[in-house]
């Protein structure tokens, strides 16, 4: 099964100069947990999650309308291609410990989003799909608690502002 068979192609995205309040509104309206961040040409330059928004607003002394997406987004973006096998997408999710992937077309432009939910609903244990054992292994790794980054000083970063 190919990613283009299971992905959502009516993807909502934002730009890096969008403010976090507008990004949160887009997520709320679309019932989304993340937004791909694209440049003016439609190429993915980052990803913004609802958690990124919450942490950015909680750790800065500014209103969400005064914090740009570029300040909160991750620029290390896992992705897959529309023509990839669904198993490739699952492996990218597993390796990146993410639940959603931007899907790129052959021109490297945003073509859609594929989520762990899409895999469960459409690609798990169907002919040519993903075996349940592979899915469970990937999900365990995605859900495992990450190690804390040693260079983060909680007091400096979050308390003293």
pTM: 0.79
- Mean pLDDT of the region 39-60: 95
| Long-range CB contacts for residues 58-66, cutoff 8 Å, separation at least 24 | 58/158, 59/157, 59/158, 59/161, 60/161, 61/161, 63/21, 64/19, 64/20, 64/21, 64/24, 65/19, 65/20, 65/21, 65/22, 66/19
pLDDT confidence tier of residue 131, bands split at 50, 70 and 90: confident
Q: How many residues does the chain have?
A: 161
Provide mean pLDDT across the span 70-90. 95
What are the chain's domains?
A: 3-144 (3.10.580.10)
Residues 6+ apart with CB under 8 A from 150: none
**Helix, strand, coil % in the chain, rounded to nearest 5:** 45, 20, 35
Q: Which of 16-25, 69-78, 122-131, 146-155 has the lowest mean pLDDT?
A: 146-155
Do 3 and 93 contact (CB within 8 A), yes or no? no
Whether the per-residue pLDDT at 123 is higher than 90: the answer is no
pLDDT value at residue 160: 47
Rounded to a whole number of angstroms, the distance between the first and last alpha carbons of the chain is 48
Beta bridge partners of 101: 114
Mean pLDDT value of segment 70-76: 96
SS3 state at 152 = coil
Q: What is the Cα–Cα distance from 92 to 97, expressed in whole angstroms?
A: 8
pLDDT at 112 over 90: yes
- Average pLDDT, rounded, for the chain: 88
pLDDT value at position 98? 92
């Amino acid at each position: 099964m190919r990613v283009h068979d299971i992905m959502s192609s009516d993807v909502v995205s934002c730009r890096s100069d969008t403010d976090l309040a507008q990004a949160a509104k887009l997520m709320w309206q679309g019932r989304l947990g993340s937004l791909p961040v694209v440049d003016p040409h439609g190429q993915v330059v980052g990803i913004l999650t609802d958690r990124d928004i919450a942490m950015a607003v909680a750790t800065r002394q500014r209103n969400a309308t005064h914090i740009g997406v570029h300040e909160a987004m991750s620029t290390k973006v896992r992705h897959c291609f529309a023509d990839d096998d669904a198993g490739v997408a699952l492996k990218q999710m597993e390796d990146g410990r993410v639940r959603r992937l931007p899907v790129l077309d052959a021109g490297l432009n945003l073509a859609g989003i594929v989520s762990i939910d899409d895999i469960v609903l459409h690609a798990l244990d169907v002919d040519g799909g993903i075996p349940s054992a592979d899915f469970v292994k990937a999900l365990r790794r995605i859900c495992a608690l990450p190690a804390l980054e040693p260079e983060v000083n909680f007091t400096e970063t979050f308390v003293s502002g």
